Amino acid sequence: MGNLWRRHRLVLALASLLQVVAVSTARAQDQAGSITAVAGSATLERAGRQADAAIGMPVRVHDRLQTAADSSLTVTLLSGDELLLSESSSIAIDQYAAARGDSSIDLLVGHLRSIISASLSRGRPAFEVHTPNAVAGVRGTDFETAFIEGKPCPGFPSCLRYTDVGVYRGIVEVSNPTSPGAPPVRVTQGYETTVPCELPPSSPAPLGMGELGGPGYH
């Protein structure tokens, strides 16, 4: 009877250990990076719980980060790529797989600068920023994305939501998923494009012509 009880306890202990290892492995696989800079006030939301953002705090897939007015935040991904979030902006980490180099970031509102160090020769972009009306896909570049809502788009006064994408280095391919028949636009260094509402991206124009030329975002 004593031996049976000891075996039962051993089985329970092993099961508990395996569960801890599984949870730890899952968390490690979900981690995308960490917060490496905070200025002003910012928050991190995970599984419905919100906390003040702090340097060194891990960032996981599906986390949402938000900055207040006059604030900024930097996330350094495990790959070394950087996400610089400007004031009054919010992103969510939709997908991250360091081994494959695939990342997908949702820009919910505001401005995000992405400094991508890795350049992968693959058939599809290794890094994408999604807004409600645009997708910007790249392979090794430095670019900025802005999603503006509730403000007339320059040249389209009836459109109250639009995306601007400006490229500082490399090439970014921009499309509008709500306009599937329109071809994507390739934006090169020193140029930007605007995606108004459900319309195709505009022809690239020199940086500073649109929202990204405003003060406080560089």
Q: What string of DSSP letters covers 139-174? A: SS-EEEEEEEESSPBTTBTT--EEEEEEEEESEEEE
According to the model, what pLDDT value does residue 53 have? Answer: 97
User: What is the value of pTM for the model shown?
Assistant: 0.80
More confident residue, 209 or 203: 203
- SS3 for 49-118 is EEEECCCCCEEECCCEEEECCCCEEEEEECCCCEEEECCCCEEEEEEEECCCCEEEEEEEEEEEEEECCC
**Nearest Cα to Cα of residue 55 among 42, 69, 68, 70:** 42
According to the model, what pLDDT value does residue 216 have? Answer: 43
Q: Where are the domains of the chain?
A: 2-213
According to the model, what pLDDT value does residue 2 have? Answer: 55
Measured between alpha carbons, how far is 111 from 164 in angstroms, rounded to an integer? 9
According to the model, what pLDDT value does residue 38 have? Answer: 98
According to the model, what pLDDT value does residue 25 have? Answer: 39
Tens-place pLDDT, residues 20-70: 333 343 444 589 999 999 999 999 999 999 999 999 999 999 999 999 999
User: Right CATH number for 2-213 from 3.40.50.1220, 3.30.1490.150, 2.40.110.10, 2.60.120.1440?
Assistant: 2.60.120.1440
According to the model, what pLDDT value does residue 141 have? Answer: 87
More confident residue, 124 or 140: 140
Length of the chain: 218
Report the range of poorest mean pLDDT among 133-137, 144-148, 213-217. Answer: 213-217
Phi, psi of 150 (to 5 degrees): 85, 15
